[in-house]
Amino acid sequence: MLELNKVLLTGRLTFDPEIRHTSSGMAVCDLKIASNRRGYGDRADEVLFIQVTAWGKTAEFCSQYLSKGKGIYVEGRLKLDSWQDKKDGSKRERVSIVADRVQFAESRAEEEQRSGGGGGRSEGGGGYDRGGSSSGNAPAGGAPPDKTDDDLPF
């Protein structure tokens, strides 16, 4: 049987990223995202609030470039967190996401329009992939940053 634990998610940050470091110096960043699902017909819109954890260079990218209200795209895996409640001792659980890749989900122009700012040049796709370096303006499909539309044979 095929097993797969992969999450692709877009949403808006509900808080500024919170970064901390492990005792060995590894960066860990906690993100809280609101992801909407449109309701059709008589169904109401649904909003999910999701905890995301990024590690290493991805965590550093998140704490440096992201802030409350920004639209982001996350690729990662699901993780089950379990703990004892300190108040009543009951067992608590929550499903969260461990991020492998985080990038901006809106262009600068869309962000400025949403925040009420003036125009500006449109950039999108900036982000960090745990498997490599910062992807800058690389498309989400993974093309190298130096590959442009001018290089296409058609």
Of 92, 81, 71, which is closest to residue 13 (Cα–Cα)? 71
Three-state DSSP at 14 gives coil
The DSSP 8-state label assigned to residue 94 in this structure reads: E
Span 114-131, pLDDT tens digits: 666 654 443 445 666 666
Q: Which residues does 45 contact at the CB level (< 8 Å), separation at least 6?
A: 36, 37, 38, 39
Span 25-49, pLDDT tens digits: 999 999 999 998 887 878 888 999 9
Q: Would you place residue 16 in the very low, low, confident or very high pLDDT band (cuts 50, 70, 90)?
A: very high
Q: Which domains does the chain have, with CATH numbers?
A: 7-148 (2.40.50.140)
Three-state DSSP at 134 gives strand
